[in-house]
């Protein structure tokens, strides 16, 4: 099964001025597309071509030794980026509602406190990686940071929302000002998507 680059769920200029069309052209059209191309090359003609994307991420240790790192990195980055595009929406939202809002209030002491903790995790993350809101296997909410292609599903967690903190996610628009990127991330956060994942 060959993988394809997913279409963005909005126009390339729909996230402006927070994320520019130029950033999406490079980030989605080139960076993400390269991960998809590399992944297809790695699995072509192997039994792994029948695996789902989630299996390729979680079972990469079963791959031949010379393919394991490349397989995980490209599969996980395809998963992470596909999830990131859905974590954003043009209109953003005022915040979580319903059961997710109640869980955030209970776990973090309110939405503002959650945003502050999530932002700190993202801004202080050293090097390339991701900040995630996840539901752990026991049902509790947590904020986790993963390095490089790291993905919470390898630990049995359910991702709810993510922010990409690789420099290519924000450098065109913000240069090295990651805090400004995070400040504007909240104007785009897709809380309906997060709520659907939490359900």
Question: What is the tens place of the pLDDT at every residue in 1-44?
Answer: 799 999 999 999 999 999 999 999 999 999 999 999 999 999 99
- What is the domain range of residue 153? 98-198
Number of domains in the chain: 2
Are residue 111 and residue 183 in the same domain, yes or no? yes
**How far apart (Å, rounded) are the C-alpha atoms in residues 71 and 11?**
30
On whether residue 113 sits in a domain, the answer given is: yes
Single residue among 52, 86, 120 that ends a domain in this structure: 86
Are residue 110 and residue 146 in the same domain, yes or no? yes
Terminus-to-terminus CA distance in the chain, angstroms? 29
Are residue 46 and residue 104 in the same domain, yes or no? no
Cα dihedral 88/89/92/93 (nearest 10): -90
DSSP 3-state of 140: coil
Are residue 102 and residue 80 in the same domain, yes or no? no
Q: What is the pLDDT of residues 136-162, one digit of tens each?
A: 999 999 999 999 999 999 999 999 999
Mean of all residue pLDDT scores within the chain: 97
Contacts of 37 (CB under 8 A, 6+ apart): none
Are residue 62 and residue 134 in the same domain, yes or no? no
- Total-model pTM: 0.97
Single residue among 56, 86, 116 that ends a domain in this structure: 86
**How far apart (Å, rounded) are the C-alpha atoms in residues 84 and 70?**
21
Are residue 133 and residue 183 in the same domain, yes or no? yes
Are residue 59 and residue 137 in the same domain, yes or no? no
């Amino acid at each position: 099964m060959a993988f394809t680059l997913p279409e963005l769920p909005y126009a390339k200029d729909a996230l402006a001025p927070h994320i520019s069309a130029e950033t999406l052209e490079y980030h989605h059209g080139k960076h993400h597309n390269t991960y998809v191309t590399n992944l297809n090359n790695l699995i072509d003609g192997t039994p792994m071509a029948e695996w789902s994307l989630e299996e390729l991420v979680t079972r990469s240790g079963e791959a031949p030794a010379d393919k394991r790192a490349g397989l995980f990195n490209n599969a996980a980055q395809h998963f992470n980026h596909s999830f990131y595009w859905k974590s954003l929406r043009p209109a953003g939202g005022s915040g979580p509602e319903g059961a997710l809002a109640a869980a955030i209030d209970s776990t973090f002491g309110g939405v503002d406190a959650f945003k502050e903790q999530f932002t700190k995790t993202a801004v202080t993350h050293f090097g390339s990686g991701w900040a995630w809101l996840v539901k752990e296997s026991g049902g509790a909410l947590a904020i986790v940071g993963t390095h490089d292609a790291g993905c919470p599903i390898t630990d049995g967690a359910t991702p709810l929302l993510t922010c990409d903190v690789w420099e290519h996610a924000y450098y065109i628009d913000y240069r090295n000002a990651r805090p400004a990127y995070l400040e504007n991330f909240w104007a785009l956060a897709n809380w309906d998507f997060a709520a659907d994942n939490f359900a």
